[in-house]
Copies of this chain bind each other. A is one copy, B any other.
Amino acid sequence: MLRNSKIVLHSRPHGLPVRDNFSLVSDGIPIPMEGQVLVRIDLISLDPAMRGWMNEGTTYISGVGLGEVMRAFSAGQVVESKHPAFKKGDWVSGLLGVQAYSCLSGDYLSPLDLSLVPLEEHLGVLGMPGMTAYFGLLERGKPEQGNTLLVLGASGIVGMTVGQIGRIMGCRVIGTAGSLEKGQFLKEICGFDEVILYKTEKMSERLREYCPGGVDILFDNVGGSALDSGLAALARGSRVVICGAISQYNESSFSGPRNYMKIVTARATMSGIIVFDFQSRYPEAISTISQWLKEGKLITRSDIYEGLENFPGTLNKLFKGENFGKLLLRVNHD
């Protein structure tokens, strides 16, 4: 008889999540009730936002309770459906959690068209990261032809997508990355104009060299000193889009941007992107991004690891800068 395996939040992490913060629990597989769908999960999206979900309290979404399955955006195949919109064999995504099977209301599921792109890309460039990049850049960054766009954290899926959409919109694009290999990929494959290798190069010097007229759009996934360097380089009338602060999520004391007064002197505006606000417009973004993928204008990259038991070590690759593209965990169903 089939059993479910699930990763349960056991205690709240201080700093980087460790194995002891979670339990791998074996459980029965629930039987779907009217309106519900049972999904066999194949791929789990590992995102920086998950670190925030492990904390107590509520921000834009409430924290995961102790003893609850760790929240995650995942994708898989319908095993049994009691919802009219889905049938056995359909591919779907949703907040299915870090587990092997999920049983939930079909109202919370999105159907996936695997003829469009492979499954992993539905969780990446056509999933939340892609939507975040698309609406964050277009709606908050408001790119104009000839603008200089600086993407902090460009080798993650959001950053690499933002940079390429910026390039398509006619921006000059500069990104930051942690290794030569990532830098080469961004320049040679994704068409970034310049990449700053933040571990070995001096950000402020490279920014002066690469952005002599200043930065018109600063898209930030990183926070901390990277954000400060970016702020210092702002051009007049620039837009700062805060998407995340991956450098700070595991710090005991969250650091704010020391250079925030540059927003005043540069006549800049700072705002953020919460992707759920654009839910009604996902179809527009999916159709546009799919077209760009088909035309080869947009390149994407997945970074897939195996086994529920390797959460949270795999998640931590995000915080150590070890991921390269969309980070995913594949569930082994043997």
Q: Which residues of A contact B (CB under 8 A)?
A: 59-60, 228, 242-243, 245, 253-261, 263-265, 267-274, 277
- Report how far A266 CA is from B238 CA in the complex, Å: 21
Residues of B near A267 (CB, < 8 A) are 271-272, 274, 277
Residues of B near A263 (CB, < 8 A) are 242, 270-272
Chain A at the B interface: SS class? loop
Task: Determine if B260 and A242 form an interchain contact, defined as CB atoms under 8 angstroms apart.
Answer: yes
Task: Determine if B261 and A265 form an interchain contact, defined as CB atoms under 8 angstroms apart.
Answer: no
A232 to chain B, nearest CB (A): 11
A-B pairs with beta carbons under 8 Å apart, 29 shown: A59-B261, A59-B265, A60-B265, A228-B256, A242-B260, A242-B264, A243-B264, A253-B258, A254-B259, A254-B261, A255-B256, A255-B258, A256-B256, A256-B257, A256-B260, A257-B260, A260-B260, A260-B270, A261-B272, A263-B272, A264-B272, A264-B274, A265-B274, A267-B271, A267-B277, A268-B272, A269-B270, A269-B271, A270-B271
Q: How many copies does the complex hold?
A: 2
Residues of B near A253 (CB, < 8 A) are 258
Q: Which residue of B lies closest to A58 (CB)?
A: B265
- Report how far A61 CA is from B46 CA in the complex, Å: 46
Residues of B near A258 (CB, < 8 A) are 253-256
Residues of B near A274 (CB, < 8 A) are 264-265, 267
- Report how far A59 CA is from B265 CA in the complex, Å: 7
The winner among A228, A255, A261 for most chain B CB atoms within 10 A is A261
- Report how far A263 CA is from B239 CA in the complex, Å: 14
A16 to chain B, nearest CB (A): 19
Residues of B near A259 (CB, < 8 A) are 254, 256
Residues of B near A271 (CB, < 8 A) are 263-264, 267-270
- Report how far A273 CA is from B269 CA in the complex, Å: 11
A295 to chain B, nearest CB (A): 32
Residues of B near A59 (CB, < 8 A) are 261, 265
Q: Which residue of B lies closest to A140 (CB)?
A: B269
A261 to chain B, nearest CB (A): 6
Beyond A264-B274, A270-B270, 6 additional pairs, beta carbon < 8 A:
A60-B265, A242-B264, A256-B259, A260-B260, A261-B272, A263-B271
